Copies of this chain bind each other. A is one copy, B any other.
Amino acid sequence: MPRTIDRAARLEEISQAVEAIARSDGFSAVTFRGIAERLGASTTVVTHLFGSRDELLDYVIDRSIARRCADIEAEIEDTVGGAAIRSIATAVVLNLDDDTHRFWLALVMGADLEPVVRKHLDRFNQWWDDLVFKHAKELAPNSDPEAVVDAINVIVTGLIVSGVETDALWSQQRRHAALDRLLAALDI
């Protein structure tokens, strides 16, 4: 296999291992040794590509979040205002899978102890808030766009975590109904 393809495949494997460890045991459990064990390889597989644990986390989290942002933006298409907010919320709550939700929750839990996690989470939240705010400004003139952003964040976060918490009970249909009901209550 050519060297460049080999490198891309390795980065993909390593990223998936980091995400899997973070999802089940949190970021504090992500170590070079743990990744190597999961890949059935020696730690040099990782140290060959990353000079430090922070460098590794920086790469993996950045890559994962960039993909999610692209997914979300694709859902908005040409909609604006309430329709766009509805598309964004639906994309995040109903279209992203349980693994993605768990990885995001691991970021939330890990941000306090790991500055590199905090950096990416804050950057993502800023991007998200700006996106929702832009469309909240297009709603009825008497609505407060900042309050709409807060309410949307509470609803989306609550639906994601409720889904992770009791996956068996919260069917897609039930999540969809709760999302619809809450958005309707906010006139969105």
Contact = CB atoms under 8 A, between A and B. Distances in A.
Interface of A: 24-26, 28-29, 102, 105-106, 108-109, 111-113, 121-122, 125, 147, 150-151, 153-159, 161-162, 164-166, 174, 177-178, 181-182, 185-186
B165 A158 contact: no
For A111, A122, A155, the residue with the greatest tally of chain B CB atoms inside 10 Å of its CB is: A155
Contact of A164 (B108, B154, B174, B182): B108
A46 B118 CA distance: 34
Contacts of A151: 178, 181-182, 185
Contact of A112 (B24, B106, B177): B24
